[in-house]
Amino acid sequence: MIGERNEKGFLEITGVGLAPSTGLRKGVVVNIEAALRSVIAAIEAAEMMSGREVHSCWTGIGGNHIDGINSRGVVAVTGKNRETREIGREDIARVLEAARAVVIPMDRRVLEVIPQDYIVDNQRDIVNPLNIMGVRLEAEVHIITCAVTSAENLIKSVNRAGFRVNDLILQSLAAGRSVLTDEEKAMGVVLIDIGGGTTDVLVYSRGAPYSNITIPAGGVQVTSDISIIKNISLENAERIKLEAGCCWEELLEGDDDIIVPGVGGRPPLPIPRSQIQAIIRPRMEEIFKMVKEELDKLVFSRPLGGGVVLCGGGAQLLGVVELANHVFKLPARIGNPLPVGGLVQEYLSPVYAAAVGLVLEGNDREFKAGAEQAGDIRVRDKGQGNIINKVIDWLQKEFF
């Protein structure tokens, strides 16, 4: 997914590329050469559409090696003014650093440290404590980690394809950035990204990520079930799943046959749609029940009023919303990316939720980095000006 700012400074999607994700298994690189070929194919397709040449990218990471923990940090407020004890940026940076000071194994890498809540002198639910007066500042954060080797292999695959990785971003976090509304996050919502090898889950509570879960099963298992039970190739099973797949019997209109090409010169094989539905539903229901078991272990301060949002390739299946309603007993919807601009019809699908989120998140991070750099320059200029003013004041006192 390629995004660029137009002449008015607004972000637009100008290129979309899609390629089979070879070289990965359950979100982890198992064949670097195959993975880099997939990267090249996808980026070249996006370059051709946008007319731009890509040199660096923001890369999503997922898989069952992802883990998340909640932590808390506490600091005394030093403040910009010691008399008023006003919380400054330095205090916020110190409390976040204190919150992330947890023991992490050497084979793990911190991906994200996301503030959930700030507490000033026991006053909770403070979104931004900057310039608030207080003595004690606390921060509750969600720390997301990944396996170092998995991250390095992913970066190596992209680098060897000829592109620089700006940073790794959790895929489910990126998907949430593109499909969830602020209201849903505040009410509490479960984002379920049904990928090929894994199903990644990100739970929001009170507006911030609360827990992330990875289920080692996804769309590939559904395809494999169809292939094995009906004794057809994986390619034909995938085509049938996408064209005629359904996981809710009430939505089947008739019981038309799906014609599958024969193997080795054999005649085509007709398969009723109801038989495909009978294969798909149990596997999808199993995946949702595995997610529900993990959710039942969590303790929430309030019900998940935002319900369930489904994205990823598995969210394209007919009846997936109805099945999610049945399993979770919560309202569910399909998570199509919120329109950004540009080629809207090209990416208005749950398949592109994470990719659009990576563009949005990358744009935000670049803008923030530029603003901080400009702020540093202004601070340095201001400091130099103060020194000059002091010299002028001294000269006036001594000689004039």
Supply the DSSP symbol for 343. Answer: S
Degrees (nearest 5) of the Cα angle 107, 108, 110?
155
pLDDT of residue 390 exceeding 60, the answer is no
Helices 219-230 and 273-296, axial angle in degrees (round to 10): 140
Within a domain: residue 179? Answer: yes
Helices 219-230 and 234-244, axial angle in degrees (round to 10): 110
Within a domain: residue 146? Answer: no
Identify the sign of the CA torsion 309, 310, 316, 321.
negative
Q: What pLDDT score does 81 carry?
A: 58
Within a domain: residue 330? Answer: yes
Stronger pLDDT, 14 or 399, i.e. the higher one: 14
The DSSP bridge pattern shows strands 123-126 and 108-120 to be antiparallel
Q: Which residues contact 215 (CB under 8 A, 6 or more apart)?
A: 64, 198, 199, 200, 201, 287, 290, 291, 294
User: What letters, b where the CB count within 10 A reaches 16 and e where it falls short, cover 353-364?
Assistant: bbbbbbbbbbbe
Identify the sign of the CA torsion 168, 171, 173, 178.
positive
Q: What pLDDT score does 257 carry?
A: 86
Q: What CA–CA distance (Å, rounded) separates 125 from 137?
A: 12
Stronger pLDDT, 245 or 83, i.e. the higher one: 245
pLDDT of residue 393 exceeding 70, the answer is no
Please give the tally of structural domains in the chain.
1
In percent, the amount of the chain with pLDDT more than 90 equals 61
Within a domain: residue 368? Answer: no
Stretch among 46-60, 195-209, 316-330, 374-388 having the lowest mean pLDDT: 374-388
Stronger pLDDT, 9 or 312, i.e. the higher one: 312
Q: What CA–CA distance (Å, rounded) separates 262 from 111?
A: 47
Q: What are the tens digits of pLDDT across the range 7-31?
A: 888 899 999 999 988 888 888 899 9
pLDDT of residue 169 exceeding 90, the answer is yes
Within a domain: residue 145? Answer: no
Tokens of 319: 């009846």
Supply the DSSP symbol for 320. Answer: H
Stretch among 79-83, 293-297, 324-328, 368-372 having the lowest mean pLDDT: 79-83
Q: What pLDDT score does 376 carry?
A: 59
Q: What are the tens digits of pLDDT across the range 266-286?
A: 788 888 999 999 999 999 999
Q: DSSP secondary structure string, 212-273? A: EEEES--HHHHHHHHHHHHT--HHHHHHHHHHH-BS-GGG--S--EEEEPPSTTPPPEEEEH
Q: What pLDDT score does 80 carry?
A: 60
Q: What pLDDT score does 385 carry?
A: 46
In percent, the amount of the chain with pLDDT more than 70 equals 91
Per-residue pLDDT, averaged over 158-186, amounts to 94
Q: What pLDDT score does 222 carry?
A: 94
Q: What pLDDT score does 254 carry?
A: 76
**Domain extent at residue 190:** 170-355
Per-residue pLDDT, averaged over 253-259, amounts to 83
Place 295 in a pLDDT band, splitting at 50, 70 and 90: very high
CATH code for the domain of 348: 3.30.420.40
pLDDT of residue 379 exceeding 70, the answer is no
Mean pLDDT of the chain: 88
Q: Is 124 helix (H, G, I), strand (E, B) or coil?
A: strand
Residue written as tokens 């982890």? 28
Place 380 in a pLDDT band, splitting at 50, 70 and 90: very low
Q: What CA–CA distance (Å, rounded) separates 284 from 122?
A: 44
CA distances from 336 to 177, 180, 284 (A): 11, 9, 20
Q: What pLDDT score does 84 carry?
A: 67
Per-residue pLDDT, averaged over 367-388, amounts to 59
pLDDT of residue 262 exceeding 70, the answer is yes
Q: What are the tens digits of pLDDT across the range 123-151?
A: 988 888 988 988 999 999 999 999 999 99
Within a domain: residue 343? Answer: yes
